[in-house]
Amino acid sequence: MSFPSQFINWVMNCVSTISYSLLINGFPSIPFRAQKGLHQGDPMSPFLFALSMEYFSRCLKRKKGDIIKFHPKYDLSMVYGLFVNKGKSALYVAGVDDAMSFKLVQARQVPKGVLSFRYLGNSGRDSQAKPHVAWSHVCLLKSCGGLNLSRLDLWNKVAMLKNLCSFAHKKDRLWFRWINDYYLKHSDVFSYIVPSITSWMLAKIFNSRRLVVNLQDQNDCAPHGHFSMKIAYKKLLGQHPKVPWRAIWYNNKATPTSVVCMWQAILNRLHTIDRLWKWGMSWDPMCRLCNAAPETRDHLFGDCVFIRKVKAFVCSDFHMSTSFAQDVHIMN
């Protein structure tokens, strides 16, 4: 395609200098070189794909006088000797009923696969595993015992409430002025009766007026004359008491995985055997480490002989006790 040699060198440098680094126990490993490829998210990737397709298209145009087609019985495996390993393959189906899914599996002679996901211990809808912590608790502030993740449903309501306030206070904007002239007709936005012909989006915005009751003092959401979504979100989230062990989140040098594991242990949400029994799972109740007592949260972090030896070796300078509750108090 007659590209300049300098341009070709630029592209090849980008393709041949890629390196990767693995995250091991929360820390990146030493980078290692790859044979080929681009950096993840490299904006040059679609352009290289377009150039490759352009070259492929030109090659096909040169063959326009020839007939290019495959024989109906053409089998790639017979030519190259490549076959599908059915032991390592799975068939994933979507949008079909169970009867059609069964026919596809029988036709391909490949086991049916199940797409799984993991979040806080939840793996797939068909799994018996329970989520470690309820989502309502996860979205609490860290000082209140949560992970401070945003509740998207509540944040969406706050965003609609902001648009509702803009109808009343930003009438100079084009869209808001059209809403006032066509729908409100200069009436009060909080007493306006929503007609049935109103679009779905505007109806949702107008229906968010019921949230104003939960804000108590509405002026607190606009400290400088501008509606604050952050303040409104915290007010709708509600007041929750602070937990005494909240200090484990701050200036903690442990890996994030270890901190979250400690958070789950404090809430007694680890999948210990005593909790699995409550869910109807029949497991040997004895502790796998010492085999001297049933496995519970307090036993694993306090009474287990094996854990005592580990704590005596690792935490000898911190005077850790044999009680999990006392350990949490000391760490706090």
Mean pLDDT of the chain: 76
In the chain, the percentage of residues whose pLDDT exceeds 90 is 0
Q: Which residues make beta-bridge pairs with 119? A: 122
In a domain, 307, yes or no: yes
**pTM recorded for the entire structure:** 0.48
- Domain boundary residue, one of 219, 237, 255: 237
User: Alpha-carbon distance 28 to 82, whole Å?
Assistant: 37
In a domain, 67, yes or no: no
Q: Kindly state the average pLDDT of the residues 51-56.
A: 79
In a domain, 144, yes or no: no
User: Residue 6 has what pLDDT?
Assistant: 84
**Claim to verify: residue 226 and residue 277 sit in the same structural domain:** no
In a domain, 297, yes or no: yes
User: Residue 202 has what pLDDT?
Assistant: 80
**Claim to verify: residue 226 and residue 252 sit in the same structural domain:** no
**Claim to verify: residue 258 and residue 183 sit in the same structural domain:** no
Residue 275: which of 248, 244, 298, 301 has the closest Cα?
Answer: 298
Confidence at 77, pLDDT banded by 50, 70, 90: low
Show the tokens assigned to 30. 């030493």
In a domain, 224, yes or no: yes
User: Alpha-carbon distance 238 to 30, whole Å?
Assistant: 45
Residue 131: which of 144, 142, 147, 143 has the closest Cα?
Answer: 147
Contacts of 260 (CB under 8 A, 6+ apart): 147
DSSP code string of 163-198:
HHHHHHH-TTSHHHHHHIIIIITT--TTTPPPPTTS
**Claim to verify: residue 55 and residue 85 sit in the same structural domain:** no
pLDDT tens profile 290-325: 888 888 888 888 788 888 888 777 766 655 555 666
- Domain boundary residue, one of 237, 257, 292: 237
Specify whether the CB–CB gap between 308 and 322 falls below 8 A: yes
**Claim to verify: residue 227 and residue 251 sit in the same structural domain:** no
Q: Kindly state the average pLDDT of the residues 203-230.
A: 72
**Claim to verify: residue 229 and residue 156 sit in the same structural domain:** yes
pLDDT tens profile 8-47: 888 887 777 777 788 888 788 888 887 777 776 777 777 7
In a domain, 271, yes or no: yes
The answer on pLDDT for 125 being more than 50 is no
**Claim to verify: residue 52 and residue 80 sit in the same structural domain:** no
In a domain, 127, yes or no: no
Number of folded domains that form the chain: 4
Domain enclosing residue 92, as ranges: 76-108
**Claim to verify: residue 253 and residue 306 sit in the same structural domain:** yes
- Domain boundary residue, one of 237, 271, 294: 237
**Claim to verify: residue 231 and residue 252 sit in the same structural domain:** no
User: Residue 119 has what pLDDT?
Assistant: 43
In a domain, 85, yes or no: yes
**Claim to verify: residue 170 and residue 220 sit in the same structural domain:** yes
**Claim to verify: residue 231 and residue 178 sit in the same structural domain:** yes
User: Residue 326 has what pLDDT?
Assistant: 62
